[in-house]
Structure formats: structure tokens, C-alpha cells
Structure 1
Amino acid sequence: MLNHLSIYLASILAAQSVLAAGKGWHFVQNGTSGIVALESIIVSDNLAIFFDRATNDPLQVDNHTAWGALYNLETNTASPLTPVTDSFCASGGMLSNGTMVSVGGHIPVIPQAYDGRMGIRMWEPCDDPNGVGCSLFEDPDNLHLAETRWYPSSLRVFDGSLMILGGIHEGTPFYNTDPVNSFEFFPSKDGGVPRPSDFLARTLPANLFPRALALPDGKIFVAASNQTMIYDIETNTETRLPDIPNGVRVTNPLDGTATLLPLHPPDYIPEVLICGGSNSSGLIPVEQLSSQDPASDQCSRMTLTREGIKKGWEIERMLEPRMMSEMILMPNGQVVIISGAQTGYAGFGTVRDPVSNSSNSDHPAFTPSIYTPDAPLGKRISNAGMPTTDIARVYHSTVTLTQRGNLMLAGSNPNGEVVNGTQYHSEFRIEYLNPPYMTVERPHISNAPKKIAFNTKFHVDVSIPSGLRKRNIKVALIDLGFSSHAFHSSSRLVFMDSQLSENGKILTITSPPNNRVYPPGPAYIFLTVDDVTSLGVRVMMGNGASPPVKNQGVRI
């Protein structure tokens, strides 16, 4: 026992020694987005796609403002894309074949855009590292949703298709007063007929952008308002779960954030974490709400097994209240809680005292925190060593993990259009939050297969710096997700068992057992040795076929 403890302590000290040679966590501002990045998704090692409202962004295309942009993470420059419909407050994700799909949107306010509420915008996998020759595809007359949806959520499910949840039919200033209480899929199921949801009807009026997470058995966890449930796609049934404690609401316009914590072999037991939001009842008229009302500092965690559900939610507290924050899964299994405001609500210009006559929120949360899932209760959240930014990331801001292993922050615009000169103006500056491993010698993965079948062993070549102890290895399979409105849809981390060869140069990895533990589609593999993480290697989990795909691998 003592020998194991001494080995563990030596490993920790070795990692600390290596990381101490770097800069530690730090922010870097580099580049501008061209449009307000109120939706963002990484589509390749070097490229991200941003969407905004079709209004008056500075980036131009075809003699009018652009509301889509391709951002190059290597050069930190933006180039315009040409969506046809207005992508304002849409959602999106990746399909099993690697195609990015953006869904929903808004009624346009400029003549160059078409109604986006039934919009489907597609970006197929692009071989050129700079996106040359690649473009968005959109055909609204022939390819569209079954219902108009503004403020929907979406996520990739076990057959590789996109599930689309909820939303609102027509623009309303704050609450969901014209709800879309249904689910649909892309490609469509059920002959294109949406599936009604009692859960969505029950959680009105503060249930926009439902927090939906794909569980390792293929079912879907959903949180809306202060209620939660599990949805079974195959039987079209909803099973109610315990309400989020203390009346905390977590969906727009009372935005908390949610994530599925990392899944570990062999059992892949699902745990969900929901943080922030508001104690407002959702029944108070918006004109009685204040930008100075405190957000919630509550985090609620539950294990989604029979025993865990019976035990219910476990409560802990963040270091500050947060509205509209996001949680990002890091390759070592920790979770970064970042961005948002400490008071107020989502949206703009509707509470009784909007800041600068616009923002419904105030007091930005400038310092990120780290949540360590396997730490003891009460000791999981810390901001020790975390830097503080001076760029407010409130309503309409985004953040995502990149292939480089750092976080890219973009957007923020609690205004109805591009506005300058106010306290919370339209934000175009791109910012990176760099972990300590960004400035030290890092492990390296090479010769990974392009496609990986489920429930198989595969080999990669690795190079591990001599200063790192090879006993402490983690291999993470990550979906980088789609960021919008304080929620990182489809975000996922599955740890994979691995074995290092005697010469320390070949790593044998066991892939997830099936397409429910990791829905088929794009992924990044990260290697972490003694808390120092490699660049991500992009792979395709499954055969890369278009959805819907059949079950693959073995059941657990």
C-alpha cells in the first residue's frame, strides 16, 4: 500500500514539475470573428464555423453583410460563408458521415436572408485544411424541417442522425409563448411527422434550448425549466426523473448549463452535471425581473442508474453564481466552467432595468473554474491558478475545445443587432484559454486509423516526452460539440482502455463497445500523460455511413 502511494505521489510530483516549466493557464487574444459568433462548431483541425443573426455584421459577402463565417484557427482570420436562411438562435451538430448540420433559425430583418425557422444548412467534410473549394449547402424549398423552430436544441443520437428538440414558432421577447412541444429528426423519421412531447408542454414557459444528453444506452436525458426526464427514442416514451432541487431553472431564458460527465470503461455509468441558472419561478412577468437579480450558484449531479436516481441529486456550489456559462470537457476528465454573468437573465432589452438599455444581465464572470469529477464533494470546484479575462462573454457568446487542446472563446452580444459603444457591446475578439500543457513538450500521436470500428483494438504510434511518467496515461475520445446559448450540444468524452508497448512507442487502444456509448461520427483522440495532453487526432467512429446507421459493436 505504501509503495503504491509513493508511486502515485511521485507521478503527481513529476507532472507538476513538467507543468511548472510552462506558463500555467493563460488567456491569449488573437484574431476577430467577422460576425458575432453566437453559434460555433469545430469542423476540422484548423476550421470553425460561426453563425449569427442576419443583421449588420462587419464581415461582407456579395455586397451585403455576412451571417456565416469560416474561421481559420491557424491564421486567426475569418472568411464569409453564404447561408440562404437566417441562422439566428439555431442549433446544430455532426452526422455519422461527418456532415455538419445547422437547424432552425429566425424570421430575417434584412432582404438578403430568407426565413430560417425551418432551415437546414449543411457543411460536408472538407479535405482542404483552409476550406478552399468547400461551402455551405442549403435548399430551403426542398430540404427543411417539419416545423418552424427558433431556439431549438439538437444532438447526434445512436443511429448517427440529429435529434431536434423544442423551440418556439414565432419570435417573442422573453418566455416561450408560442411553443414547439415536439421532437423531430434529421434525416426525418416517422414519415416526417414530429413527435409530441408532454415533457416540453409541462415545462413551459422557460424551456427554450432544452439541455439534451445522449446516454450510453441510447436513451436521451433532457432537462428543461427545473424538470428532467429520460426519453426513449425507440419506444417514444418519456420517464420523469427528480426535479432539479431548490426550484433552480436551467433553460432559456434562465440559462444554466449541463454536461454528461466523462464515461469510463467497462460500465460507462452515466452521470449528469447541471450548473447555474436562476431561482426565478418562470412565472414572474419579465418587466418585473431585474438585470441585478442574482443567478444561481448551484450545481446538481445525479448518477443515472436505478440506485442513483433513487438517491437523487447531489448539490454543490460554484465559487460564484452564473447565468449563461458553459461547461467544457477537458481531455484529462476535468470540466472547465467558463463565461456567463453573475446576475440577470438571458436576452436583451426586456427586464425592467437593462444595462445600457440593452443587456438583461450584468456582472460578467471573468474567471473560469475547474470541476474535478472524482474529487470529494465540496472540493470539486476550484479557480486556483486560473487567469482572469477582461472580455465579457455573456448572452450570445460561445466557447469550444479545439484540436490543439485549448479553448476558443467567441461572441457576446446582448443586443438586437451589432452595437458598439455600450457597456456590453457586440464582441468580435477571439480569445483562447490555454492550459498549462500548451507551453511544455507534449505527447504526440501519429498513424491513427482514419476510421475506427466499435469494440475493436487498434494501434497508434506515440512519442512521450522523457520527463513524463508513463504509468499515468489517459486516452480520451471526444466529440467537441456545438456551442450556443450556454449549452454544448453533443459534447462527449469517453475514456478508452489502452496499453503501452514495452518500448513506449506503440499504444494499443480499445474502442468503445458500441454506437450508443459513442454515437457514430467524428471524434478526436487525445493522449494525456501525467496531465500533459497531446494535440487531438481526428478520426471517424464507425464506418462513416450516412444516417440512419445500424447498431454496431456489442451491447454492454
Structure 2
Amino acid sequence: MGHSRVTVVLWMSRFLSFFFLIPLASAVTHEIPAQWTLVQNGTTGVAAMQLSVVSPTLAIIFDKVEHNPLQIGNHSAWAALYNLETNVVTPLNLTSNSFCAGGTFLSNGTLLNVGGNGVVSPEDEDQNGFQGLRIFEPCTDPAGAGCTVFDDPITVRLVKPRWYPSAIRIWDGSAMVIGGTAAGGFLNTAGSNEPSYEFFPPKNNSIPIVSPFLQDTLGANLFPLTFALPDGTVFIAANNQSMIYNIANNTETRFPPFPNNVRVTYPMTGTGVLLPLTPPNYTPEILICGGSNASDQVLPSTLSSQTPASSQCVRMVLDEAGIAGGWIVEQLPVPRIMPDSIILPTGQIMFVNGGATGVAGYGNVPDQIGQSNADNPVFTPVIYDPSAPAGSRFNSTGLPASTIARLYHSTASFTPMGNVMISGSNPNLDVQTRKYATEYRVEWFNPPFFDLIRPNLSGLPKNILFGQNVNVTVSIPAGLDLSTLQVALMDLGFATHATHSTSRLVYLSTVLSGNTLQITGPPNAGIYPPGPGYIYLVVGGVWGAGTQIIVGTGGAPPVSS
């Protein structure tokens, strides 16, 4: 990657050990530099409101209908494929408006993009997207040739209109679509709230299931933070509340409110992550950071772009003892509204993007910056180590700082290459060049060892079944501590509005014998819902490139009679 390179010293204890890398065909040694790098390279052509990696070489981007520079047919595109290797952008033709849609993968690797907004620009030929159900099937061409999105809201659509919904893949490989609104676009109201769940393929005779929790969490309950749990239940957070939903029994088990009345979903947007699931018990633990304790029961005219965001993080182990102990509070080094949380193969979490003041959205508060409801962009990432002692888990010393504001409608994703892609920011009704402008530039955070020879595995099959043992060949640079070897199975997720609900890291059981590594698939579909993922070999805190895999048979999810 090419244009500008910022090199700084990165504090990170697991990378500061003195390693030597010995290429297989050479006796030359390479010391791992103690630094991350930040590179700006590439532009997206459409504003990157929604971002998801769909193959080893491609990411898909969805935007709203607006006057993007990338064209398709006789109008501006609002979706595109981004080539992770060449930075080439290919427009995709959509029919409906994908403004503030959600997304998730199915068990067969198909990506769903769900919900959206109404007709905005008849000259762009968009259709009503409130019930949008856009389908992107697995794309095998590395450059995306021939890859398309099926988008026909007349024949295939959601049951309910949903703007700002969340979506996850559950234990049977189907999609669960959660919440949203039928109107509005800022604080949700009882008149427009869609407090229900529905599934695709449909369940329950296509009748949405009403959620009292989503009724009770008005008005900041859009884009709920949602995670599928190992026992088949679903964790959901909205506003300053959270609960576990049992799909089989249709019951909601609520937890105490978040401390200090911090709200964590749109427009008081924080971010959440399911911390890595580790054998033998795979006990789930939730971390939620950022947001705001501004009131959601007031008129937008009483809010401000200068209201401090929250620095609060809350963490809970979802077992009997952890739930009894309640939410444990930690503090980000800098308050953040709209941060993105990226799981790294080491189990650490990188927080990027967002602002230090204001709330999400645009055009609502009286002291907008341009049209932005937020101000004071946070330019420096911070890394959280969940295994470090309390009080010393956050650190951003030496991490490179960006100069690009990433506020509302920013996105980020881990990639198969093993780095972090940063894109988007568009707190505007349409494309703008004023502060804060519509942002098309792409940035890449590369780990210290990115350009060196890294741990590698080969011979992985296209599918791995639950509990299946497979043997692969590994190449591990000399000097790395083999006792630290881990295999990380990662769902890279679907990112929008600081939600990464489908992102997931499961450590797989392994046995190393020489250069042969036996890997055991996840025990069941609760630990890792069947579907696509990437496997990374991690040794001594150094990870290689990811290898694409389907967990399970790769079949489509069940269809109800």
C-alpha cells in the first residue's frame, strides 16, 4: 500500500519481545519492529456507511441514495465492491434505498442487507427500501467480475418496515432481524417504533415476534447491540438496558441498567463486542464501550454537538456468578461517541473512529458542525487487552494518529490480510465538501509484523464440521514461542453505525506435531453459528493472513413449511 506512511513506536507488551524471523529459503533474520503503521490508500467511490468483507479479496460497501462520484448506468451508485488487494472499486446496482440498513451472513455464505429508507431521488431510480432484503451470494471471482446484488423489494422483502435494524446469524444459520423504526431517523417514538423480531428464511408463519424490551427502551433503541450466545440465546442491548432473549421460549431476561445512566445505542451510539470464546468452556462475556448519558426524553433542540461523550465501558461474564456480580465499569482513555470495535486475532480489541462530543446523526442539534451532531473527532486508536489486569487494559501509546475525521457513518473491519480497514464518515444529508465532509479515503492500520514473514497454515479444507479434526501444515518463523500457538476462527462481521453484532472470535482446540497441526472444529452451532469465517494462525502475538472457510456443511438455512 502506497501513499503516505506514518511510523511510530507502539507499546504493546506481546510485540516487544525480541523475535527473529527466518524465511524458509534464506538464512537472513528479520527483527520484528515495535510499531504499527497507518497508510492511506484507495477511495471507496460511494460513502462507506456499511462495510463487510465478502471474500479473501473483496469487501462490499452499502450507502444511501446520494450523489456519489461512482456511477452505474445513468446515475450515482450507492453500493460497490472494494478490492482489498488492488483498491479498485466496482459499482453495484441496487434497486432500493439501503440507507441505514443492517446486515448478516447466512450459513451458506450469502450476505443479507436488510431494511433501509424510502424513495429519495426518483432520478436515481431508487425504490422504497424500508422492507429491503438485498441478497449478495458468495462471489468466487477475485476481482468481483459478474458479482451482483439481488434487490427486488416487490417480490422479496421483510415483513415489517425497518430503518436502523440490527441483524445476526443464529444457531441454525438463519438471520434474525431486530428492531428498527418505520419513520423518523433520530430519537425513536412509539408511533414509528418497530419493536419486534423476524427471521429469514421466515419462521413463526412469517409473523414478527413482539418484543416488550424494544417497547420499553424508547427513544434511543435503534441499531441494538446484539450477539448470538453459545447456548442458543441472544444478548441484546438498547438504550441503557440489556437482556437475554430465548428464541425457543420467547422469553426476555433483563439485567440491571448500565451504570451512570449511559445510553449505548443510536443516537447515543456506543459499541459492543462479544469477547473471544475460549475452550473448554466457551463462557461468553460482553464488553460495551462509549455512548452518552444525554437524555433521550428531550427535544433534539436541547442536545448539543459539544455535550461530552461517555468514556464508560461495562463488562459482564454471562454465567451465574458474573450476572450476580453485575456490570463491571472501566474507562476509555478518551470519551467516544460512535466508536468502532475491532477484534484482533490475539483477542485484543482495537477501538477506532468516533467523536469526543455530541451524538450520532446529522441535522438535529442546534449547534451543528456543518450538519454533524457530533464534534471533536478522536484520531488515535486505543487497544484493549481483556486478559490484562484491571486498570491496565487500555493503551494507545505510540499508536499512529489519523488526520481524517471519522464521525457519523464511518466504518471499520478486520481483513483477511490481517490488518484493519478504516473507511467512511458522512454526517450529511447528501455529499458535502464542507466540514465535516463526505469521506471516501481508505486507511489501513498494519500491525508491526505485517510486511515480514508470518505464521502460515496450508491444506485447510473449504469446510470444517462441528467437532471435526482436520490436519494442516504450518510454517512458523523461528524464534516464536510455540507454546503460545492459537488458531483463531473469526467472523469478520457486518459493520455499520458502530455495530459489529456478527463479529466473533472462537479459539479452536489444536495439537501440534512437527509441522502438522490438528485443528478441531467448534463443538456446536451455538459456539459458532454455521457459516463463513476466516482462520488465523497466531504464535507469540504474531498472526498470519486469514484463510477463508465455511463452518458446517455450507448448506442453506432451514426453510419452514
Q: How does 1:40-439 map to 2 (within 5 A)?
A: 40-111=51-122, 112-176=125-189, 178-356=192-370, 358-420=371-433, 422-439=434-451
Q: Are the structure 2 counterparts of residues 16 and 90 from structure 1 closer, same or farther at C-alpha, using a change threshold of 3 Å?
A: farther
> Does structure 1 conserve the Cα–Cα contact (< 8 Å) formed by 2:187 and 2:296?
no
What displacement does 1:15 show?
Answer: 4.5
Q: How does 1:433-452 map to 2 (within 5 A)?
A: 433-452=445-464
- SS at 1:489's partner residue? coil
Structure 2 distance, partners of 1:57, 1:499, is 50
> Does structure 2 conserve the Cα–Cα contact (< 8 Å) formed by 1:163 and 1:183?
yes
Q: How does 1:480-519 map to 2 (within 5 A)?
A: 480-501=492-513, 503=514, 505-519=515-529
For residues 382-418 of structure 1, give each alpha carbon's deviation from its aligned partner in whole angstroms, at most 9, with x where no partner exists. Answer: 1122110001111001000000110111110000111
What displacement does 1:194 show?
Answer: 0.3
> Does structure 1 conserve the Cα–Cα contact (< 8 Å) formed by 2:269 and 2:338?
yes
Q: TM-score, normalised by structure 1?
A: 0.94
> Does structure 2 conserve the Cα–Cα contact (< 8 Å) formed by 1:404 and 1:536?
yes
> Does structure 2 conserve the Cα–Cα contact (< 8 Å) formed by 1:166 and 1:209?
yes
> Does structure 1 conserve the Cα–Cα contact (< 8 Å) formed by 2:16 and 2:34?
no
Give the gaps of 5 or more residues in structure 1: 1-8, 551-556
Letter in 2 for 1:134: C
What displacement does 1:126 show?
Answer: 1.4
Q: TM-score, normalised by structure 2?
A: 0.94
- SS at 1:204's partner residue? coil
What displacement does 1:12 show?
Answer: 7.0
> Does structure 1 conserve the Cα–Cα contact (< 8 Å) formed by 2:340 and 2:352?
yes
Q: Are the structure 2 counterparts of residues 59 and 387 from structure 1 closer, same or farther at C-alpha, using a change threshold of 3 Å?
A: same
> Does structure 1 conserve the Cα–Cα contact (< 8 Å) formed by 2:14 and 2:541?
no
Q: Which residue of 2 aligns with 1:5?
A: none
Q: Are the structure 2 counterparts of residues 337 and 176 from structure 1 closer, same or farther at C-alpha, using a change threshold of 3 Å?
A: farther
For residues 42-70 of structure 1, give each alpha carbon's deviation from its aligned partner in whole angstroms, at most 9, with x where no partner exists. Answer: 00001011011111111100010100101
Q: Which residue of 1 aligns with 2:46?
A: 35
Q: Which residue of 2 aligns with 1:4?
A: none
> Does structure 2 conserve the Cα–Cα contact (< 8 Å) formed by 1:151 and 1:168?
yes
For residues 265-311 of structure 1, give each alpha carbon's deviation from its aligned partner in whole angstroms, at most 9, with x where no partner exists. Answer: 01000100000000112112110111000000000000101111010
> Does structure 1 conserve the Cα–Cα contact (< 8 Å) formed by 2:18 and 2:32?
no
For residues 306-344 of structure 1, give each alpha carbon's deviation from its aligned partner in whole angstroms, at most 9, with x where no partner exists. Answer: 111010011010000000001111001111011100000
> Does structure 1 conserve the Cα–Cα contact (< 8 Å) formed by 2:346 and 2:538?
yes
Q: Which residue of 2 aligns with 1:6?
A: none
Which segment is superposed worse, 123-132 or 538-547?
A: 123-132
Q: Which residue of 1 aligns with 2:3?
A: none
> Does structure 2 conserve the Cα–Cα contact (< 8 Å) formed by 1:175 and 1:253?
no
Match status 1:548 vs 2:558: yes
CA RMSD of aligned residues (A): 1.7
> Does structure 2 conserve the Cα–Cα contact (< 8 Å) formed by 1:413 and 1:427?
yes
Structure 1 distance, partners of 2:534, 2:545, is 9
What displacement does 1:19 show?
Answer: 8.8
- SS at 2:184's partner residue? coil
486, 492, 495: which one aligns with 1:474: 486
What displacement does 1:23 show?
Answer: 6.5
- SS at 2:315's partner residue? strand
Letter in 2 for 1:496: L
Identity within the alignment, %:
49
531, 554, 557: which one aligns with 1:521: 531
What displacement does 1:174 show?
Answer: 3.9
Q: Which residue of 2 aligns with 1:3?
A: none
